Amino acid sequence: MAPKSRKQGKGLKTAPVAQPAPAGPEVDTDTLGPTPALPTTNPTLSGFTPERFEAELKALAAKAKQETSTKATTDQLFVYLRSLTLITLLAIYVVVFELSLSPVYGSIPPKIHDFKLLVVTCFVAWSSNLWLQRTLPVKPQLLIPVVAAYIPVVQFFLFKISSTLGATWGPAITESLTLVPLMFLSVACTATYLDGADLSRLPKSVADSVPGLGSALVYVVTAGMASSWIQRHIGTAWYLTRLGMQAILTASYSLFAPSRLLLFAIPGLLHTAIFNNHMPTSLALSSLNSTLNAHEYMILDRRESLTGYISVVESIAQGFRVLRCDHSLLGGEWTKLRTLPQFRKNQVAEPIYGVFAMLEAVRLVEVPDPVLDDQAKALVIGMGIGTTPSALVAHGIGTTVVEIDPVVRDFAQQYFHLPSNLSTVVEDAVTYASRLASSTETASFDYIVHDVFTGGAEPVALFTLEFLRDLAALLRPNGVIAINYAGDFALASPAVVVRTIREVFPSCRIFREHPRDEALVEKTGSDFTNMVIFCTKLSEPISFRKPTQRDLLNSPSREAFLLPKNEVKDEDFLVGREEGVLFRNDTDKLEKWHQTSALGHWAIMRTVLPDAVWENW
């Protein structure tokens, strides 16, 4: 039934009629009263009171506050984490970098300008971080892995001109072109990250200094821990070698700041992997020997260890073999003499340095109630290639060698024919002597030979009054000690060492390997040489018996050098006689002259072997 139409008031237009719902019933709107309120079907709206509205607002505010606080904490965590990562990687790289220079320059010359360079770099980088951010077309942190990838490449080429650069400025130039850019970027990025650190709770004066001081503290602690850890583990795997650690650090930087810029690092990485003969691979060693063969040298073996880069180098033309540690030689022998008929049955090798034969004169010192060789016991501090301990064993003396470096021990056994009945202890000599001196083993040795040296820097702890007293406790009353010391008589260090020795042993005599060259001293101002100090615990002056044919062991070197010559008198010590003795807690007395001594030793080593041997290591 169609709905009825409603009458409208006069003058009013008729409103359009709404169409009915298709299935709805017919309704006469004239019969409807006022429109009732529609019942709600939303329970939320039905219970929506002012109190509930306020509660929900507070809940939303608390949730927003919590989310903001969590985000702020996360952001701060990332600020410190990124900064810590960069500083940690940089501290480790500095330690590895210094190690990478030691085969070419030794351990001391790289430290001459190192501290100044690093301090200036850090200061400039920290203060110019904002300028760097605005100037570079890319984020500075993205450049760090690329710079790290090319450090071994630049080193590779700079090492080849180290003789031209010299030991004083060569390390500084190498560092300026490699490590300094890495440090500049790392420190600048760290400063930028720490600009976002929330230090509002701290006083402004404190907040301004905390980022810099905190970063410096982290750097120092990390570098110290890294140095100690690396020294214990270096060389135990390929990635724990000098070049291996540089590669691992480059990979770590790449993970820290990945980007398309890493494509530019590929040539540097390829050069290191393929052409850098310092890689710890047989292919790299073969390539290195191809280079050295042109100079008539070759490397029989090489390994990195806690005292430095150890290698066995052989002269093809001259017929000798040496054991190298960083930029110094631990000893050597004439291999060509072994092939001659008159020397084939010799029990010992022929040393290339006379000082090693001179050390064996410890047996020639005349003492009351001398002991027979087959009843005597000897202690040797420092193995080298084993020249002296091998000779003592050849005379029938029960001999123990204390050597801190297991690689030196292994190479001496493998390439320098150590006798099988030689007892070897791989341990720090200070710890060994201290332990024995406090035990029932005191006064158990008839001979002690003290022979330690590395690259112009004697291990200071082995020349202190405390260590020498421990050795004295191990020496029998009529025993003899021989101490090899290499130093520059133009410096005070030899005088300090000799005075410390005489403080423990009342009777001593000192001999140089070669007489002083007055013209050379006048020209260079240096008088670097090996000397041997023979001492006893007796009050009588030291004298030597004449060597017999048995003492000489059919050796031309021993015939020339076994009986000590070139005695050193007190007036031969040009400076330092007024200095006191060397104590364990006052080693600066000796270390302050290391720099000059190391530079002199570096120059001497460059005349002993060709530059190519040192530069290609």
In tens, the pLDDT along 242-262 reads 999 999 999 999 999 999 999
Rounded Cα–Cα distance for residues 308 and 101 (Å): 11
Is residue 426 pLDDT above 60, yes or no? yes
Is residue 364 pLDDT above 60, yes or no? yes
Q: What is the pLDDT of residue 18?
A: 45
CA-based torsion, 514, 515, 519, 522: positive or negative: positive
Q: What is the band of 178 on the pLDDT scale with cuts at 50, 70, 90?
A: very high
Q: What is the pLDDT of residue 12?
A: 38
Q: What is the pLDDT of residue 26?
A: 46
What mean pLDDT is predicted for residues 309-318?
A: 97
Q: What is the pLDDT of residue 456?
A: 61
Is residue 327 pLDDT above 90, yes or no? yes
Per-residue DSSP letter, 275: T
Strands 423-426 and 308-315 come out as unpaired
> Chain centroid to CA 455: how far?
15
pLDDT tens per residue, range 277-293: 999 999 999 999 999 99
Sheet harboring 320-325: ordered strands across?
A: 297-305, 308-315, 320-325, 328-334
Is residue 541 pLDDT above 70, yes or no? yes
| Mean pLDDT across the chain | 89
Indicate the fold that domain 353-609 takes in CATH: Rossmann fold (3.40.50)
Structure-token match 């013209």, residue found: 519
Q: What is the pLDDT of residue 457?
A: 67
Is residue 599 pLDDT above 80, yes or no? yes
Q: What is the band of 54 on the pLDDT scale with cuts at 50, 70, 90?
A: confident
Q: What is the pLDDT of residue 2?
A: 44
Q: Which of 501, 500, 466, 464 is nearest to 481 (CA)?
A: 501
Instruction: Give the up-direction half-sphere exposure of residue 306: CA atoms within 13 A in the CB hemisphere.
Output: 13
Strands 398-403 and 377-381 come out as parallel
CA distances from 582 to 115, 174, 402, 454, 528 (A): 26, 35, 22, 19, 21
Location of each CATH 1.20.1250 domain in the chain: 70-276
- Residues 239, 245 contacting (CB under 8 angstroms): yes
Is residue 596 pLDDT above 80, yes or no? yes
Other CB atoms within 10 Å distance of the CB of residue 280: 18
Q: What is the band of 138 on the pLDDT scale with cuts at 50, 70, 90?
A: very high
Q: What is the pLDDT of residue 34?
A: 47
Is residue 43 pLDDT above 70, yes or no? no
- Residues 485, 493 contacting (CB under 8 angstroms): no
Rounded Cα–Cα distance for residues 542 and 368 (Å): 11
Location of each CATH 3.40.50.150 domain in the chain: 353-609
Q: What is the pLDDT of residue 338?
A: 87
What mean pLDDT is predicted for residues 391-418?
A: 96
Q: What is the pLDDT of residue 454?
A: 62
Q: What is the pLDDT of residue 453?
A: 75
Per-residue DSSP letter, 264: G
Q: Which of 401, 457, 409 is nearest to 432 (CA)?
A: 401
Rounded Cα–Cα distance for residues 331 and 321 (Å): 9
Q: What is the pLDDT of residue 324?
A: 96
Rounded Cα–Cα distance for residues 100 and 407 (Å): 18
Q: What is the band of 468 on the pLDDT scale with cuts at 50, 70, 90?
A: very high
Question: Among 54-68, 97-111, 133-147, which stretch is predicted with the lowest mean pLDDT?
Answer: 54-68
For residue 176, give the H/E element and its range. helix 162-177
Indicate the fold that domain 70-276 takes in CATH: Growth Hormone; Chain: A; (1.20.1250)
Return the percentage of the chain with pLDDT > 90, whole number: 73
**Which comes out higher in pLDDT, residue 299 or 489?**
299
Rounded Cα–Cα distance for residues 556 and 350 (Å): 8
Q: What is the band of 51 on the pLDDT scale with cuts at 50, 70, 90?
A: confident
Is residue 336 pLDDT above 50, yes or no? yes
Q: What is the pLDDT of residue 455?
A: 59
